[in-house]
Structure 1
């Protein structure tokens, strides 16, 4: 099974993903390729220049790519295959294409109240006040039509958020 974890910036996706990986050794995390310096912090990702990203894309390195906030993101094709469930931090806007590329994809929307999003964005120190306002304006972005998803509200302790994500990763009961 392939899970796309999506949601607004500051929702705590990376924190919940790390917790889910610790609790479920069968999960495999896709290490995204992003046109952002690796030392900028946050998640574990492969930071590349826009030129290197374009080169890898032209060689068919990525199963899925998208652009957001002036950056390019890629899901390496070679990290999708193999045993166990796969999880990646994705984009709501890229879900229609992701569903085409990964049949059976399951989407999980992680979100939080706007005030928490603003506090978390300010705490990570990567965005200006204007960037934060811009990201908050996108926080209520609707999920694309036709994409089934589960929602995890991450408005409590990390442990509670992780438990909620783990519950959302469980198989759908008929």
Structure 2
């Protein structure tokens, strides 16, 4: 049975990478194969996400050679997931990655099985997180706050409201990933899930 690609999406500052990291720690000793690939980003190494820095020229070359499973541009940067992600899913792994909402319409073309997780927080909490990470000036933070959802009608399989303890959000994601592992023979992947009461706007 094919594995699955799990796209974690959400507005900047919602804590996607932190939630993914918490879930990864919880799944570290599982028998099932869960893969958390590092993204290639045209941004120097710094605080925050553990990514692979790449120049704009190298990114463009890799992209033109078909070296990415998914790639996109946002906030003046280029982001990509290595093409090996497709092979991992075919081999039966559950691959989990933070991606742009703008590439969600490509998931069915790239992967036999996929799911979409949305992470969100109340707006004021999101603004405070963006300010704390210290990557952007006030105007850039405002631009991130104002960015519209590029895929407002996309199916969402699970929404995680990340406004409490990080370990709780990570556990929610880890439980979902266990449920869609081929070893569990789950049938719920690919079905739309209603946004729970008390959720966040996209």
Deviations 1:126-154 (A, max 9, x none): 0111111111112x626443534311110
Which whole-Å CA distance do the structure 1 matches of 2:105 and 2:79 have between them?
Answer: 16
Do structure 1's residue 22 and structure 2's residue 28 form an aligned pair? no
1:55 counterpart residue number:
61
Deviates more, 1:78-87 or 1:8-17: 78-87
Q: Is the 8 A contact 1:34 1:73 kept in 2?
A: yes
Runs of 4+ in 1 over 4 A off after TM superposition: none
TM-score normalised over the length of structure 1: 0.90
> Which residue among 23, 36, 41 is the counterpart of 1:34?
41
Do structure 1's residue 43 and structure 2's residue 46 form an aligned pair? no
Which whole-Å CA distance do the structure 2 matches of 1:54 and 1:97 have between them?
Answer: 19
Matches for 1:26-105 after TM superposition, within 5 Å: 26-37=33-44, 39-82=45-88, 83-105=92-114
Q: What secondary structure, in the 3-state scheme, does the structure 2 residue paired with 1:86 have?
A: strand
Structure 2 residue runs without a partner (length 5+): 181-187, 192-202
Which whole-Å CA distance do the structure 2 matches of 1:62 and 1:126 have between them?
Answer: 26
Do structure 1's residue 2 and structure 2's residue 5 form an aligned pair? yes
Do structure 1's residue 155 and structure 2's residue 158 form an aligned pair? no
Please identify the structure whose Cα radius of gyration is greater.
2
Deviation at 1:159, TM superposition (A): 1.3
Matches for 1:160-171 after TM superposition, within 5 Å: 160-169=168-177, 170-171=179-180
Which whole-Å CA distance do the structure 1 matches of 2:169 and 2:139 have between them?
Answer: 28
1:134 counterpart residue number:
143
Deviation at 1:35, TM superposition (A): 0.9
Q: Is the 8 A contact 1:110 1:153 kept in 2?
A: yes
Q: Is the 8 A contact 1:30 1:80 kept in 2?
A: no
Which whole-Å CA distance do the structure 2 matches of 1:167 and 1:81 have between them?
Answer: 24
Deviation at 1:164, TM superposition (A): 2.4
